[in-house]
Homo-oligomer: A and B are copies of this chain.
């Protein structure tokens, strides 16, 4: 039995009232709670696109490696090195060389408790390199928790919305913001969460030159490493490589998450790649916080040590095995993720056919198919759409919560939507369009 939409608007409105946050203002957690409650009250299933969580299983390679490591009870009893197990550091350096085209030593590769810890410590170091430059400049929209980290650390932040600033316009905007003299570095994700745009090599070259010119440090969040699925990313040691600022400046910290590319979110392990220069870069401003002037040691001994004393042994072994398997070159680790690409293609089609528009796209108007896309409905502001979509049985994340200021709309995550769901989505969007077109 197909449930008619719109659902009972009175119940939706009452539930919104009850939780007390207008849908356009809902954080991921608040939106999740709201829709959980609506599903229960209405006895329906929503098309859930609000949270960005993996929809796949972890590859058996990781699980087997963890099990082998734990059996015997010895490794689980021993503190890990603060800078990571040597095998993982080496596998990371190899992976970065083979799949990103960047050459660093294993020393530069530091596992973290999720890329979350990497982002936290990266901001701590970058924001404290120079007491006069405590501002992290976010290229927005972005991952909301990075701003919570910034606040936790007592730093400052500013942001540039790249909606109508791409190419040299973006680079110029960043440079002119640097000229005020209070910016320690920039933070952005590539591919971008929430919009799935990807900064081009030209943009990254320009941004990298700004970093070098102003002693800024780029924190590049590669949470969706390789997941814009261009032809050839799956082949080790051969171009094309995913775009990265590491090709254009020595001032960088790359954050690689295992949550999405390896569906390993539950074990909370990520990788930080600190540029070699950070191991030589000393600043008096770091010492009061980290007991060292050295930027890389501040991250490791002043940061990882005193927050978690390293990364759990089991996950380190699991991730090592995954990277080593990918490095060998006979496993296309990106292949299984193409289900996200397929979903995105189907879902975007359905949205576009029913009068919706993609909000953020590349300069040429296209957008690759991947983990996220953004949508809006012409003539309806975000505030109205946030409520209306709940009447019609689908749920995204308000872009307002991700720092978008120059554009309105919602982020859709494709990971929890099955092929069957797309049919339901199509029906609901059709009805929506009939009623609002």
Contacts and interface: CB of A to CB of B under 8 A. Distances in A.
A313 interface: yes
Contact of A314 (B66, B75, B79, B291): B66
Contacts of A25: none
A260 to B, nearest CB: 10
A313 B76 CA distance: 14
Q: How many copies does the complex hold?
A: 2
Scoring A62, A116, A307 by chain B CB atoms within 10 A of each residue's CB, the highest score goes to A307
A57 to B, nearest CB: 4
A113 B268 CA distance: 10
B59 A267 contact: no
Interface string A258-281: 010001111111000000000000
A183 B174 CA distance: 42
A306 B152 contact: yes
A265 B151 CA distance: 30
A288 interface: yes
Contact of A77 (B57, B70, B269): B57
Interface string A64-108: 001100111111111110000000000000000000000000000
A contact residues, range: 35 or more
A194 interface: no
A309 interface: yes
B145 A305 contact: yes
A149 interface: yes
A62 B288 CA distance: 40
Nearest to A82: B29
A60 B80 contact: no
A312 B314 contact: yes
A22 interface: no
A185 B124 CA distance: 24
A142 interface: no
A308 interface: yes
A314 B315 contact: yes
A177 to B, nearest CB: 23
Contacts of A73: 57-60, 62-63, 263
Contacts of A116: 306-309
Contacts of A199: none
A53 interface: yes
A242 interface: no
Given A151-B288, A154-B289, 7 more contacts: A76-B264, A77-B263, A113-B268, A145-B309, A152-B307, A269-B312, A308-B308
